[in-house]
Amino acid sequence: MIAPIKKDSISLRVAVTDRCQLRCLYCMPPGGLTLCNHHDILSYEEIITFVSNLQYNYNVDKVRITGGDPLVRKNIEQLIQKLHDINIPDIGITTNGQLLGKKAQVLKDSELKRVNVSLDSLSDSTFKKLTRCGTLAHTLNGIEKAKAVGLQPIKLNTVVLKGINDNEVADILNYALENELTPRFLELMPVGTLSYDFDKHFFSTSDTIKLLTDDFELSPIKKETGSNCASYHAKNKNGKKGIVGFISPYSHPFCNGCRRLRLSSNGHISGCLALNNRTYVRELLKPSPTASRDLKSCIEQAMSLKRASKEFTIPESMVSIGG
Ligand code: SAM
Ligand code: SF4
């Protein structure tokens, strides 16, 4: 068979599990969500079949592994190694970092390149309040280990919440610059458990930047097409320099040129994080004469469904679609 001419690139997020050991205020209720049955979760083989099909028709420039927390899934390094073996050029993971200290070396050995660690607070008590059951020291230890084994870049994700951690943005940026990490401040999205208290806790990127301008020199960097992040060169009072990003899905949606596709842990795809629109594709991962063609048409359909305005129609957690 002649391979098609691939002109479009796709950046894929794969949620490998809906399980997580934390219960972040904005993501999960205290008692957790109703979980999928284990047999409904895609196997690594099915995920690789999906990615291979995608790769046949598109340039898959990145695969980011997420969840739930991807490090709670057994042998996640085996999936990373398989993605590397099928020549995915850029493989990353997004984690709360609680297990990163234990897993950093094995992840590095499996050819993982980059890691994004969620870090919403540097205060033990606020971290505990925000995650309900996390330990700050474990995440900080995970970041140190990731750095020590050479995972690069290490990005920090901080969701800024009014009245909870907005007083910490300068501390987090200083911590990141001093430790050669790349911080990104995210706006809260009206998705998940805080969507009903959204106005009380929403804190805009422009307000975050205002809080930083006394302590840091910030100068904007030209945005790449399709990027969801506005980046700035930052310099602190000790002269430490780095790059800081701001992700503003609510105040400045980044949908133009978005080439992201999401695969959920139970086999649904979606082209847009904000829309309650997904297609079940697990059945198309079994061998059949038409499966590959049908999967391609589902992918095209999903990629054509991006939100047209600032709307968010997903009330449930990002865990169900892959954050
Ligand atoms: N458990 C991993 C973690 O926390 O990094 C990966 C999954 S989590 C759903 C991915 C990212 O989504 C995290 O950085 C988290 O802070 C973010 N997130 C979850 N719910 C959010 C919301 N309602 N608004 C903004 N970001 C959210
Ligand atoms: Fe777990 Fe990540 Fe959701 Fe927090 S944001 S509850 S760490 S999946």
Give, for ligand 2, the residue of 24, 165, 264, 265 to mutate: max count of ligand atoms closer than 8 Å to Cβ: 24
Q: Which ligand is nearest the CA of 317, by number?
A: 1
- For residue 106, which amino acid is it? V
Side-chain-side CA neighbours of 288 within 13 Å: the count stands at: 10
Domain interval for residue 122: 10-321
- 250 within a domain of the structure (yes/no): yes
CB burial string 186-197: b at 16+ within 10 A, e below: bbbbbbbbbbee
| Whether the predicted pLDDT of 226 surpasses 80 | no
| DSSP state for residue 5 in the 8-state scheme | P
**Model confidence over 278-305: pLDDT tens digits?**
899 999 999 888 988 999 999 999 998 8
**Model confidence over 82-116: pLDDT tens digits?**
999 999 999 999 999 999 999 999 999 999 999 99
- 312 within a domain of the structure (yes/no): yes
- 23 within a domain of the structure (yes/no): yes
- 1 within a domain of the structure (yes/no): no
CATH of the domain at 181: 3.20.20.70
67 lines ligand 1 (CB under 6 A): yes
pLDDT of residue 287: 87
Judge whether 2 and 295 are in contact, CB under 8 Å: no
Q: How far apart are CA 261 and CA 311, in angstroms?
A: 18
96 lines ligand 2 (CB under 6 A): yes
Which is higher by pLDDT, 314 or 74? 74
**Model confidence over 24-50: pLDDT tens digits?**
999 998 888 888 899 999 999 999 999
Query: Which atom of ligand 2 is nearest the CA belonging to 192?
Result: 3
Q: Residue 311: which pLDDT band, with cuts at 50, 70 and 90?
A: confident
Q: Residue 3: which pLDDT band, with cuts at 50, 70 and 90?
A: low
Distance 314 CA to ligand 1 centre (A): 14
pLDDT of residue 1: 53
- 4 within a domain of the structure (yes/no): no
- 80 within a domain of the structure (yes/no): yes
Distance 3 CA to ligand 2 centre (A): 39
| Whether the predicted pLDDT of 317 surpasses 60 | yes
**Model confidence over 183-217: pLDDT tens digits?**
999 999 988 777 788 999 999 999 999 999 999 99
| Whether the predicted pLDDT of 230 surpasses 60 | yes
pTM for the model: 0.94
Domain count, the chain: 1
**Model confidence over 129-146: pLDDT tens digits?**
999 999 999 999 999 999
- 123 within a domain of the structure (yes/no): yes
pLDDT, the chain, mean: 92
25 lines ligand 2 (CB under 6 A): no
Q: How far apart are CA 183 and CA 172, in angstroms?
A: 8
